[in-house]
Amino acid sequence: MIDPGRRRRILGQALYVALFLAILFWRLLPLAPGRVVWPGPDLGLCLTLLWVLRRPEQVPVLTIAALYLIEDILLMRPIGLAAAIAVLGTEAARKREHRWRELPFMVEWLRVTMLLALMMLAYRFVLTTFFLSPPPLGQAMLQFIATTAAYPLVAGLAAWGLGLPRSTADRDARAR
């Protein structure tokens, strides 16, 4: 028999991996070939940060690294760069998760926004340092704005549909 805590952790990790891969699959679909569209939000990053802040034990660092490495390969980005930045960003959030847990959602959103901005700047800085062409600044800013705006929507859907409430008090209330 498997321990209920371990079972919940494994099922949560499997659900996170399945959702991340579904988002990645959606990004790979040629929905509008030949048409230039505005960059959408990075829902995978929103989901990852949300899961790290709500259930850090369900998202180990190696899982995040492996998923972002797969994403780098499939999206033809510099291999390992986005994975390294995602790991650094999520580990910074994980380290401060216990302090963020009881704060209002607006503070969490502001901190996630600052973390997303730092991750975007780090990505552009590393690309520029190694003389690789970064994506156009306008597109990067639009994606940052879209990702920041999508975070509350992802958080609301996660709390409603996936059972990922914000705090332990919310979890206890749902368990009753």
pLDDT for 165 equals 76
pLDDT tens digits, residue range 159-172? 888 777 775 544 44
CA distances from 115 to 60, 76, 124 (A): 19, 24, 14
Classify residue 67: in a domain, yes or no.
yes
What is the C-alpha to C-alpha distance for residues 53 and 98, in angstroms, rounded to an integer?
8
Classify residue 168: in a domain, yes or no.
no
pLDDT for 31 equals 76
Classify residue 166: in a domain, yes or no.
no
Classify residue 169: in a domain, yes or no.
no
Classify residue 170: in a domain, yes or no.
no
pLDDT tens digits, residue range 88-101? 999 999 998 887 77
pLDDT for 96 equals 83
Classify residue 33: in a domain, yes or no.
no
What is the C-alpha to C-alpha distance for residues 39 and 26, in angstroms, rounded to an integer?
14
Residue 20 lies in domain: 4-27+39-161
What is the C-alpha to C-alpha distance for residues 124 and 56, in angstroms, rounded to an integer?
27
Angle at 170 between CA 169 and CA 176, to 5 degrees: 90
Classify residue 54: in a domain, yes or no.
yes
Classify residue 45: in a domain, yes or no.
yes
Tokens 């990922």, residue located: 164
User: Using an 8 Å Cβ cutoff, are 91 and 68 in contact?
Assistant: no
Of the candidates 150, 30, 147, the one whose C-alpha atom is nearest the C-alpha of residue 86 is: 147
Work out how many domains the chain is built from and give that number. 1
Give the CB-side neighbour count of residue 114, counting CA atoms within 13 A: 7
Residue 56 sits in a domain of what CATH number? 1.10.1760
Region 120-149: mean pLDDT is 94
Predicted TM-score (pTM) of this structure: 0.87
**Predicted confidence band of residue 173 (pLDDT cuts 50, 70, 90):** very low
